[in-house]
Structures are given as C-alpha cells and as structure tokens.
Amino acid sequence: METINELTAVIQQEADIAETLETLLKEKQNAFINWNPEELDIVVKEEETLLHRITELEKKRTLLVSQLSKNGKEKKLSVIADEFGAEDLRIQAKRLRVASERVMKKNSQNKKLLQSSLSFVQHTLALLTNNYQRKLIDQKA
C-alpha cells in the first residue's frame, strides 16, 4: 500500500507541475504577442526548471508502476487504481491527463505564434535587403 501512496504523491506532483507549466505557457504566449524578450527569457528558464523536475518525477513514476505491475508487464494507472482501490490515484491521474492535454494545446498555439513571428522577421529582412533572393552575408570564396 505504501507504493500506491508514493505513486499517488508522484502523480499529484506531476499534475501540480503541469498546471504550473500551463500558466507559464500562457505567460510565454503573452511575451510572444507583446514582443517582450526579457519576459520570454525568464519564462523559458522557469519552464526548463519545471521540465527537468517533471522528468525526474516521470522516472520515479515509471519505477513505481513497474513495481506495482505483475509479470513485468506495465499497467495503466486506471488498472492499478482498480486493483488497489485507490480512488485518489484515479483522481490525480485524471488531473494530470487533463493538465497535460491543456499544456499540449497551449504548446501548439505557442509553436504557431513562434512560426508566425519567424515568418514576419524573415519577410522584414527580405524587404530591408530589397531582394528576396539575395543572401544577407556575402559568401566570397
């Protein structure tokens, strides 16, 4: 039962981080929209810290799931929750899944914003050089 409690705690921590990550991705989106590179730098550093932490938790979660699975065959969290009657595990797993889906959606939106910004910069550079074909750096041999 102790392993189930550990797993539930790990999933809860992952869900907390995923929810914090979603908030950071909103801030990142605002930094893109408002062309605020200083804010973007701060958010990216915080994001890296959270991603490192969630990676460590994921390793721990994988180990715990492996310990709870029989025959070395990894089970889904819902199956483990059913086997052990761990309703809190089910709740935290759902919370993590929902938060992860929102993070993926926000990440996709930010990717589109970044691509749009890159396209804008490339177009602006092309206009400034008065030639869409000419390279910005002279590459003499």
Reported as a single tens digit per residue, the pLDDT across 14-43 is 999 999 999 999 999 999 889 899 999 999
**What is d(CA 92, CA 97) in angstroms, rounded to the nearest whole number?**
9
Residue 134 lies in a domain: no
Residue 68 placed within a domain = yes
Number of domains in the chain: 1
Residue ranges in the chain assigned as alpha helix (H): 2-33, 37-68, 77-84, 87-128
Give the Cα separation of 111 and 28 in Å (integer).
Answer: 11
Say which amino acid occupies 76: K
Range of the domain at 61: 2-128
**pLDDT band for position 87 (cuts 50, 70, 90):** very high
User: What's this model's pTM, rounded to 2 decimal places?
Assistant: 0.81
Residue 12 lies in a domain: yes
The reply to whether 65 falls in a domain is yes
Does 139 reside within a domain? Answer: no
Average pLDDT over residues 64-81: 85
Task: Label residue 138 by pLDDT band (50, 70, 90).
Answer: low
29 falls within a domain: yes
pLDDT at 88 over 80: yes
Stretch 64-82: mean pLDDT: 85
Averaged pLDDT score across all residues of the chain: 89
**What's the CA gap between 46 and 49, in Å, rounded?**
5
50 vs 103: CA distance, rounded Å: 13
- Residue 86: Cβ within 10 Å count: 20
Q: Is residue 137 part of a domain?
A: no
Residue 138 lies in a domain: no
pLDDT at 139 (0 to 100): 54
Nearest to 14 by CA among 83, 81, 77: 77
pLDDT in tens, 105-132: 999 999 998 898 888 888 888 888 876 5
pLDDT band at 49 (very low <50, low <70, confident <90, very high): very high
